[in-house]
Amino acid sequence: MGLTGFLFPGQGSQYVGMGKALHDAFPQARDWFGEGEESAGLPLRKLCFQGPDDDLRKTEITQPAILLVSVIAWRLLEQRGAVPDFVAGHSLGEYSALVAAGSVPFPDALRTVRSRGRFMQEAVPAGEGAMAAVLGMERQQVEKICREFAAGRVVSAANFNGAGQIVISGHKDAVERVSHQAREQGARRVVPIPVSAPFHCALMTPARDRLVPELDRLPFQDLAFPLLTNVDAVPIRTGDQAREALKRQVTSPVRWEESLRAMIQSGVTTFVEVGPGKVLSTLARRLQKDLRIHRVEDPESLDATCRALQYNRGGE
């Protein structure tokens, strides 16, 4: 059997009801929810289980909520003997991956991503930024259109997700110009993304500058297994590397497709998405059809994944 990569989702994977089935099924999960609420200073059970959706979508709430559910799913897997060969997390998910790898303490990660979400939200006044997904266009062409139609404003590629999907981010007017040109020049579709801020572009510089001191205060440990960073798509193992990658990540594009390909080239044949939703599972499946893809977000998917990967389903 080949190697295994665990993938941790980012913002956009949240939904009302996430984590509730794990909470109800496992006493440990209830304890961890309580620990998470105390660390984040938020009523995360209510927000995750009942919403409303508008509150759960607020960046300052979304980020700790997804991290909490992802870490609970990871801990239940870990109790059953799961040891990944590689981990990676999409944007926010990189924090979940670092918790799983033993680099960042869970309470510190929750507090930090709540601050990260607030800093990102406050970096750009509401309505001034935007993001859009460009489908069916090559990376070089998208980058060229961004350069040619920025008109002195900020617009750049924010996520290279794979499967022909590139997300652009920046000033609203510039994103709209580039979106129009991408359609004119042959993009299959261009889909505006309903986000509260333009992530992973130069407009996030104020957020990065506020986050850096918080990351410098965190005690990063070396990683128990290698992590593919968003910014470089190469494996790291030291705490110092992890800290620097998180600093650069705020204003840099997420090189997700490259990260997946690097793991596949290293021998990964099985991916497990650990946390809410199936965004990353879908991207991996579209990238290479013969990969084994699993998810863990509720008791049923936990049991199915443990059975498929021959982990101890009893959790002893």
Q: Which of 99, 39, 45 is nearest to 74 (CA)?
A: 99
Domain-by-domain residue ranges, the chain? Answer: 3-123+203-309, 129-195
169 an active-site residue?
A: no
**Helix and strand totals (H; E) in the chain:** 14, 10
pLDDT digits (tens, 9 = 90+) for 38-47: 999 999 999 9
How confident is the model over 219-226, as a mean pLDDT? 97
* Omega of the bond leading into 52 within 30 degrees of 0 (cis): yes
Residue 219 burial (CB < 10 Å; 0-12/13-18/19+)? Answer: exposed
The alpha carbon dihedral of 93, 275, 24, 16 has a sign of positive
Q: Residue 236 belongs to what H/E stretch?
A: strand 235-236
Question: In the prediction, which pLDDT does 315 show?
Answer: 53
Q: Which two tokens stand for residue 140?
A: 């070089």
Q: What's domain 129-195's architecture?
A: 2-Layer Sandwich (3.30)
Query: What pLDDT band is residue 179 in, cutting at 50, 70 and 90?
Result: very high
The CATH class, in words, for 3-123+203-309 is: alpha beta
- Mean pLDDT within 260-264: 97
Same fold, 3-123+203-309 and 129-195: no
Q: Which amino acid is at 234?
A: V
Identity of the amino acid at 51: G
User: Phi first, then psi: what are they for 264, rounded to 5°?
Assistant: -60, -45
Residue 312 has pLDDT above 80, yes or no: no
- Which residue out of 200, 259, 294, 301 is catalytically annotated? 200
* Cα–Cα nearest to 165, from 140, 189, 133: 133
What proportion of the chain, given as a percentage, has pLDDT over 90?
94
Residue 122 pLDDT exceeds 60: yes
3-state secondary structure of 269: strand
The rounded mean pLDDT for the chain is: 96
Q: CB-based burial of residue 183 (10 Å sphere; 0-12 exposed, 13-18 middle, 19+ buried)?
A: middle
State which amino acid sits at residue 107: P
Of 301, 241, 304, 311, the residue nearest 69 (C-alpha): 301
pLDDT of 185 strictly over 90: yes
Strand partners, 135: 165, 189
21-68 per-position pLDDT tens digit? 999 999 999 999 999 999 999 999 999 999 999 999 999 999 999 999
CA distance 137 to 210: 35
Distance (Å, whole) CA 313 – CA 302: 8
Predicted confidence (pLDDT) at residue 316 exceeds the cutoff of 50: no
Of 39, 70, 91, 259, which one is the catalytic site residue? 91
pLDDT over threshold 80, residue 271: yes
Q: What is the pTM of this model?
A: 0.96
Residue 121's φ and ψ, nearest 5 degrees, are -65, -40
